[in-house]
Amino acid sequence: MPFSHLTHLSCTKCGKTYDPALLLNVCKEPGCAGSLFAEYELPRLSKTDVASRDRTIWRWHEVMPAKRPEDIITLGEGGTPLLHARRLGARLSMPDVWVKEEAGNPTGSFKARGLCAAVTMAKALGARAIALPTAGNAGGAAAAYAAKAGLPCHVFMPRDTPKVFRLECEAYGAQVTLVDGLIDDCGRIVALRKEAEGWFDVSTLKEPYRVEGKKTMGYELAEQFGWTLPDVILYPTGGGTGLIGMWKAFDEMERMGWIGSKRPRMISVQAEGCAPIPKALAEGKDVSVRFENAHTYASGLRVPKAYADYLVLKIVRASKGEAVTVSDDEMRRGVNELASSEGLYAAPEGGAAWEAVKKLLASGKLERTERVVVFDTGTGYKYVD
């Protein structure tokens, strides 16, 4: 059996297919520029075959893009705990609340999963250097994996991003540029300069493999729940890569006969100060409009318009999910509650996801007996300033 069953890339907008041996960003059809998905000839793989493998994102290697084990650039990402939040759940009379705790990943966030896959593929397909815009955590992860791969890394981040994000990127040897603007302004600079500089752009959903790394959260959840899926998943959404990736994973697992057709309601959680997805959902739109004057201390949620917003909105609707906004004060309270009741010093994004549980409950959109998963996507230690 081949190590990876990757067959081709396909455009999520127009369906055009591409050879995965090429180093590609987005669809090249005129006027399309859709995000590309990795497609596999799904193997006849038993889920028990996987059980004894190392607990990194590569334990699912048949449905991951690296063609050869020796291509993998790993720091031990993935295999994170799924923790029963008994004390917090009890406060709401909810016995079945869980936290998928992503802070233990290399560089302290779930961004390690996506950047591990992206850097692995960029290196294997011949990239000479990578570049990306970041709200913080993606930059640190990209820089770390680039260091391990021996690739130069150029990181563009808003000037007011917490200082530790810049320091860690520099420690990993990346070239950091601070930008007076938001993540989309950073993305525009990368797009403008990448050709002349010879950089491969690893902006999320503008290359095919970050979503592959992040989809492993969906595989892990199913495995950790004994090959069933929860009723509800709350996902703090910036670019939406993990939400999109998990939905893709659920589809792949169903096609391999690992799970049934039941899907969780996917809840996209954003900040009150930057809520393009809830706004588009409320207005019945298929794409979002750039959210002006975006502000929130959850830097990962300060994404005024996600590149693949059309996928996030489609999935939230298909799952009969919701989009919920949380204020910065509520996030701080969420962080404190996760810390003082569950021993988890969460990123504000994780605090937002926990607060969103209460909001859904208060609005009657959640049953107390439902099985709920809150994503704590990163460590709180990086947000001390």
Binding site for ligand PLP (CB under 6 A): 109, 111, 135-138, 204, 236-242, 300, 347, 349, 377-378
- Smallest gap from Cβ 302 to ligand PLP, in A, equals 8
Q: Around Cβ 343, how many Cβ atoms within 10 Å?
A: 10
CB of 74 within 8 A of CB of 56?
A: yes
- Smallest gap from Cβ 11 to ligand PLP, in A, equals 20
How many whole angstroms separate alpha carbon 229 and alpha carbon 260?
A: 9
Nearer to ligand PLP, 101 or 349 (CB): 349
How many whole angstroms separate alpha carbon 250 and alpha carbon 215?
A: 9
- Smallest gap from Cβ 176 to ligand PLP, in A, equals 16
Nearer to ligand PLP, 42 or 276 (CB): 276
Nearer to ligand PLP, 42 or 319 (CB): 319
Nearer to ligand PLP, 138 or 357 (CB): 138
How many whole angstroms separate alpha carbon 12 and alpha carbon 283?
A: 23
- What does the H/E/C string look like for 163-225? HHHHHHHHHCCCEEEEECCCHHHHHHHHHHHHHHHCCEECCCCCCCCHHHHHHHHHHHHHHHC
Nearer to ligand PLP, 258 or 375 (CB): 375
What interhelical angle do 210-224 and 241-255 show, nearest 10? 60
Nearer to ligand PLP, 12 or 137 (CB): 137
Helical segments of 283-327, H only? 309-318
- Smallest gap from Cβ 348 to ligand PLP, in A, equals 8
Q: Around Cβ 353, how many Cβ atoms within 10 Å?
A: 30
- Smallest gap from Cβ 265 to ligand PLP, in A, equals 17
Residue nearest to ligand PLP (CB): 300
